[in-house]
């Protein structure tokens, strides 16, 4: 009951009241259930989230670390839930600038996700993107670039088949545009983007959109401005169309179901498929790169 009331206070931004209740709940659970009980771990995580919301990452870190130890004891060190906890701990350390520790946590979490959940699980690109961002902040640009490209290539292959000379992921077209810009003046190119259907795909919109923007930021750091512009343009155009799709979906479902409406998940690879298809088709037809307006 104390936990539920504390979470209610937390959602209302009554952080002092929530903090007091969670500390009381933690003390009671430790005395009645033992310090290594899963319920204790849950309260530790709730308290860590509260500190995180207040920007108190130094205070959240030891709580998150202790919760990780409990989870490892109860579930084993290679359980997917342990990987989730490693991501939480990495977040606390990252906000304190402890990038070497962050890198270790993300690498371990990625290894668990790939082994236990498989390469097609949405947690894999999410963790991989987090690791790449950590490497980017440490100035390890080449390593970060490889990871960002792996995420985009994997999404492309799931939707459009194996990569070859006539079937390339979006980042390859961006780099080709960069190379062309070095020898001649090119017109600003827009990528034809179609809004995706609401059919569940394999890679989450948010992760892929973030990856596009992160790789674009890395390209800018490397001086590849044309490649960066192309990725940013793709992400921006797609984001706008997805918002329109979500708004329409929200209206329709609310009209049909009233308060029972549940937002449907919109996923990203359809965009990569559409964008790469347009670019690959232009390459095959040897018509050059032309502007294609999105509808």
Average pLDDT over the chain, rounded to whole?
80
Confidence of residue 247 (pLDDT cuts 50, 70, 90): low
pLDDT at 163 over 80: yes
Confidence of residue 144 (pLDDT cuts 50, 70, 90): very high
Confidence of residue 246 (pLDDT cuts 50, 70, 90): low
Identify the three-state secondary structure at position 55: coil
Distance CA 250, CA 262 (A): 9
Cα torsion through 261, 262, 267, 271, rounded to 10: 10
Supply φ then ψ for residue 165, to 5 degrees. -65, -25
Place of tokens 């690959």: 280
Supply φ then ψ for residue 167, to 5 degrees. -140, 90
**pLDDT computed for residue 261 by the predictor:** 37
Identify the three-state secondary structure at position 141: helix
Identify the three-state secondary structure at position 222: coil
In Å, what is the CA distance from 289 to each residue of 25, 187, 189, 218, 230? Answer: 62, 8, 7, 24, 12
Q: Regarding predicted confidence, which is higher, 241 or 294?
A: 241
Distance CA 42, CA 50 (A): 13
Confidence of residue 229 (pLDDT cuts 50, 70, 90): very high
Confidence of residue 106 (pLDDT cuts 50, 70, 90): very high
**pLDDT computed for residue 113 by the predictor:** 96
Span 111-134, pLDDT tens digits? 999 999 999 899 999 999 999 999
Place of tokens 């987090």: 130
């Amino acid at each position: 009951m104390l936990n539920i009331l504390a979470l209610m206070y937390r959602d209302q931004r009554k952080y002092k009241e929530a903090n007091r209740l969670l500390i009381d709940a933690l003390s009671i659970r430790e005395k009645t259930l033992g310090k290594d009980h899963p319920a204790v771990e849950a309260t530790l995580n709730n308290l860590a989230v509260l500190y995180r919301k207040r920007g108190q990452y130094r205070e959240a870190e030891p709580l998150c670390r202790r919760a990780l130890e409990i989870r490892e004891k109860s579930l084993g060190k290679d359980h997917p839930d342990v990987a989730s906890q490693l991501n939480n701990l990495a977040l606390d350390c990252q906000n304190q600038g402890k990038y070497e520790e962050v890198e270790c946590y993300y690498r371990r979490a990625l290894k668990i996700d790939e082994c236990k959940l498989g390469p097609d699980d949405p947690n894999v690109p999410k963790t991989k993107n987090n690791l790449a961002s950590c490497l980017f902040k440490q100035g390890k640009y080449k390593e970060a670039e490889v990871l960002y490209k792996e995420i985009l290539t994997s999404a492309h292959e799931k939707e459009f088949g194996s990569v070859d000379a006539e079937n390339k992921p979006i980042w390859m077209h961006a780099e080709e545009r960069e190379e062309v810009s070095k020898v001649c003046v090119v017109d600003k190119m827009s990528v034809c983007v179609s809004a995706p259907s609401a059919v569940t795909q394999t890679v989450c919109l948010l992760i892929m959109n973030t990856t596009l923007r992160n790789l674009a930021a890395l390209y800018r750091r490397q001086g590849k401005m044309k490649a960066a512009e192309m990725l940013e343009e793709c992400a921006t155009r797609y984001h706008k169309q997805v918002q329109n799709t979500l708004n329409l979906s929200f209206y329709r479902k609310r009209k049909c179901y009233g308060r029972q409406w549940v937002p449907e998940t919109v996923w990203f690879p359809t965009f990569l498929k559409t964008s790469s298809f347009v670019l690959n088709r232009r390459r095959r037809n040897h018509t050059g790169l032309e502007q294609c307006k999105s509808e």
